Amino acid sequence: MKKWLVALFSLALIFSLAACGDSAKDEKATEKKDVSADAMSFYMDLVAKINDNDADYDAYQAAIGSDTPPTGAELTKLATVASTSADKVSTVLADVKVPNLGASTSAFKAAVKELSDAYADEAAGLKASPIDTKSADEAMQKASDALGKVLKDVGLAPSNIMNDTAA
């Protein structure tokens, strides 16, 4: 009889330990989901902050991409206000506080800094005579790619912030 009780208690112990292991897996999955949700929320907030400040920059991009791009004084005027807009976006991004996003927090900070620097480079290129934003455009794409990679790393679809913030 004692052997049966010992066997029964041993079996109960094995099942309880197995249940604890499943609980730990569930907690890790929940933690990952929470980081993904927080990362998505942060990204959407980032897009909104850029969109709140880049209307003139977007107008410039649309104008130079049109069938009849502006030239001369009209181009200079558009570039001047676009430069101010890009400077403002750079400042806003420099002030962004990245929330705790687990192991990805530092990668998000680096990507946001790259994006802020790229907008500053855009502003400088738009002020140059002649206008030269080629290297800034490349930096912008690199920053967007870095942000997309971090989103993918936390389990989200990689996104292109340049497309998400375009007018």
Convert the pLDDT of each residue in 35-56 to its tens digit: 899 999 999 999 999 999 999 9
The sign one gets for the Cα dihedral 28, 31, 37, 42 is negative
Please enumerate in sequence order all residues whose Cβ is within 8 A of that of 77, keeping only pairs 6 or more positions apart, or say none.
Answer: none
Q: How far apart are CA 99 and CA 122, in angstroms?
A: 27
**Position 2 confidence tier, pLDDT thresholds 50, 70, 90:** very low
CB 74 within 8 A of CB 116: no
Q: Distance (Å, rounded) from C-alpha 79 to C-alpha 127?
A: 7
- Contact of 136 with 122, CB cutoff 8 Å: yes
CA distance 163 to 144: 9
pLDDT tier at 29, thresholds 50, 70, 90: very low
Q: How confident is the model at residue 21 (pLDDT cuts 50, 70, 90)?
A: low
Residue 13 pLDDT greater than 60, yes or no: no
State the residue for tokens 């897996």. Answer: 25
Q: Can you list the positions of beta strands (E) in the chain? A: none
